[in-house]
Amino acid sequence: MTQLVWFRSDLRSRDNPALWHACKNSQDSVIGVVFVTRQQWQQHGLGERKMQLLENAMQALKTELKQLHIPLLIIPADTFADCNQTLQRIIIQLNIRSVAFNIEYEVNERRRDIEFSRWCREQQISVYKFHDQCMVPPGEVRTKQDLPFKVFTPFKRAWIQQADGRIGAPLPQPQPRDPAIQNALAGLAGLQGNIPATNTVADELWPASEDEAHQRLNQFAEERGRAYKELRDLPAEDATSRLSVYLSLGMISPRQCLHVALSHNKGQLTGNTPGFDTWISELIWREFYRHLLVAFPQLCKHKAFKPDTEQVPWRNSESDFKAWCEGRTGYPIVDAAQKQLVAEGWMHNRLRMISAMFLTKHLLIDWRKGEAFFNHWLLDADLASNNGGWQWSASTGADGVPYFRIFNPTTQSQRFDADGEFIARYLPQLAELPAAARHQPDNLQRQRCGYETPIVEHKFARQRALDAFKQTLTTA
* Contact range with ligand FAD by CB under 6 A, out of 55-63, 96-104, 153-161, 382-390: 382-390
186 backbone φψ class: left, alpha, beta (φ>0; ψ -120 to 50)? beta
* Contact range with ligand FAD by CB under 6 A, out of 9-17, 18-26, 49-57, 348-356: 348-356
217 binds ligand FAD (CB under 6 A): no
DSSP codes of every residue in 433-449: S-HHHHTS--HHHHHHH
CA distances from 307 to 9, 296, 303, 312, 398 (A): 30, 12, 8, 10, 11
Helix (H) or strand (E) holding 468: helix 458-475
Among residues 39, 108, 198, 349, the one that binds ligand FAD under rule CB under 6 A: 349
439 binds ligand FAD (CB under 6 A): no
Contact between 422 and 431 (Cβ < 8 Å): no
DSSP code for 142: B
290 binds ligand FAD (CB under 6 A): no
By annotation, the residues acting in catalysis are 282, 285, 314, 349, 367, 390
CB of 75 to ligand FAD, least distance (A): 26
DSSP codes of every residue in 196-244: -----HHHHHS---HHHHHHHHHHIIIIISTTHHHHTT-TTS--S---H
47 binds ligand FAD (CB under 6 A): no
DSSP code for 67: T
Comparison of 214 and 446: residue with beta carbon closer to ligand FAD: 214
149 binds ligand FAD (CB under 6 A): no
Instruction: Sketch the per residue contact string, 242 through 271, with ligand FAD: x for CB under 6 A, - otherwise.
Output: xxx--xx-----------------------
Comparison of 283 and 334: residue with beta carbon closer to ligand FAD: 283
DSSP code for 432: T
CB of 232 to ligand FAD, least distance (A): 6
Instruction: Sketch the per residue contact string, 113 through 132, with ligand FAD: x for CB under 6 A, - otherwise.
Output: --------------------
438 binds ligand FAD (CB under 6 A): no
CA distances from 97 to 13, 25, 175, 186, 398 (A): 22, 14, 22, 18, 42
CB of 374 to ligand FAD, least distance (A): 6
What phi and psi, each to the nearest 5 degrees, are found at residue 429? Answer: -65, -20
396 binds ligand FAD (CB under 6 A): no
Cα gap 39→230, rounded to integer Å: 43
* Contact range with ligand FAD by CB under 6 A, out of 117-125, 236-244, 315-323, 404-412: 236-244
312 binds ligand FAD (CB under 6 A): no
CB of 392 to ligand FAD, least distance (A): 6
Nearest to 213 by CA among 352, 373, 103, 53: 53
Question: Under rule CB under 6 A, how many of the chain's residues touch ligand FAD?
Answer: 27
Nearest to 391 by CA among 413, 366, 414: 366
Among residues 353, 365, 461, 468, the one that binds ligand FAD under rule CB under 6 A: 353
Among residues 21, 156, 286, 361, the one that binds ligand FAD under rule CB under 6 A: 286
* Contact range with ligand FAD by CB under 6 A, out of 171-179, 312-320, 325-333, 380-388: 380-388
Cα gap 333→415, rounded to integer Å: 11
* Contact range with ligand FAD by CB under 6 A, out of 79-87, 95-103, 190-198, 383-391: 383-391
212 binds ligand FAD (CB under 6 A): no
Comparing every residue's Cβ against ligand FAD, the nearest one is 389
CB of 177 to ligand FAD, least distance (A): 32
Among residues 72, 312, 356, 359, the one that binds ligand FAD under rule CB under 6 A: 356
Nearest to 453 by CA among 335, 314, 317: 335
Q: Return all residues near 328 (Cβ < 8 A) that are at least 6 apart.
A: 322, 335, 452, 455
393 binds ligand FAD (CB under 6 A): yes
Cα gap 204→198, rounded to integer Å: 11
53 binds ligand FAD (CB under 6 A): no
CB of 376 to ligand FAD, least distance (A): 11
Cβ-based neighbour number of residue 216 at 10 Å: 18
391 binds ligand FAD (CB under 6 A): no
Comparison of 206 and 451: residue with beta carbon closer to ligand FAD: 206
CB of 360 to ligand FAD, least distance (A): 9
41 binds ligand FAD (CB under 6 A): no
Contact between 243 and 216 (Cβ < 8 Å): yes
Cα gap 42→78, rounded to integer Å: 10
Q: Residue 123: what residue type?
A: Q
Q: Write out the residues near ligand FAD by the rule CB under 6 A.
A: 232, 240-244, 247-248, 282-283, 285-286, 289, 349, 352-353, 356, 374, 378, 380-382, 385-386, 389-390, 393
